Amino acid sequence: RTVQYKNFKADFFFLDGNVYDTTPGTMASHDICSKISNPGLHCELANYPGDGATCAVTGPLDQPSCKAWFKKLWEDNVKWLKDNLPKSDAEWQLLVNHYPA
């Protein structure tokens, strides 16, 4: 996303860092792939029906594939960033990411 300010131009690059919030078997409260968090804390059943631990249409289909799905998403994002960051002619390039990456 490019924003032209009065005195400079900035390119914002957004990356999905959710891979760092997938920790199967270690911290269920911080594992967006776990059935404890999905549905529940991170995925409201009313908005995302199903038996939990699935994003069906747009994301991982089940808990076992969840971490790998987010890892591939991260790798694809990093490749996209490496391909596009050098093309920026803005005075500022800003990277926006999800905690804690």
For every one of its 101 residues, what pLDDT tens digit does the chain have, with 9 covering 90 and above? 899 999 999 999 999 888 888 876 666 667 777 766 555 555 555 555 555 555 656 777 777 778 888 899 999 999 999 999 999 999 999 999 876 54
Q: In the structure encoding, which two tokens stand for residue 56, read together?
A: 């069906």
- Rg over CA atoms, the chain: 17
CB 78 within 8 A of CB 1: no
The count of structural domains within the chain is: 1
Hey, how many other C-beta atoms are within 10 angstroms of the C-beta on 72? Answer: 13
Cα distance between residue 101 and residue 20, in whole Å: 7
Range of the domain at 37: 2-97
